[in-house]
Amino acid sequence: MTLRSTWSPQPWRAAIRDEWIDYNGHLRDAYYTLLASEAIDDLMEQVGLDAAYRAQTGGTLYTLEIHAHFLQEVKRDDAVTVIMRPLGADAKRLHVLCEIRCPRLEDPAAVVEVLLLHVQQQPAPKSAPFPAAVAGRLSAWLADSQPVAAKHRSRAMGLQRRGGGS
């Protein structure tokens, strides 16, 4: 019997702050991406790209592209949970979907799709492969995940293979 390694991140949770609410009484559009960004920071901690890793190696994630789909309103009294879903990964890049959910809503309030690049910042920023342990966790996460419904995907974002390289 072969045991397969599995890994998946825990959801990230946050309360909505008064200053994030706009004149329509719901979450201002920019804060949906802030929620996704903070959830990605938490994902970095969980996957092994934490503060100690960043300090020791100079490695981090840079955001290459971000798409937000606003599906339902988030209100002041909502608490949100961001569930991360992997859409793809290669040696240097990670493509994730952040589902922003509220307990009062059956479907996501928003989805934020993000393309990330692993970068070594010293001596000058340059893309670099993920460390083996991180790559293993990302691979296991992707292998164990269910496909994401097309209705929540952006139309032109994804990992495109370049000829002759990774």
d(CA 27, CA 107): 17
- Tell me the three state secondary structure of residue 81: strand
d(CA 155, CA 112): 13
What number of other Cβ atoms are within 10 A of residue 134's Cβ? Answer: 19
Q: CA Rg, the chain, in Å?
A: 17
pTM of the model: 0.86
pLDDT tens per residue across span 90-134: 999 999 999 999 999 999 999 999 999 999 998 899 999 999 999
Q: Which domains does the chain have, with CATH numbers?
A: 12-146 (3.10.129.10)
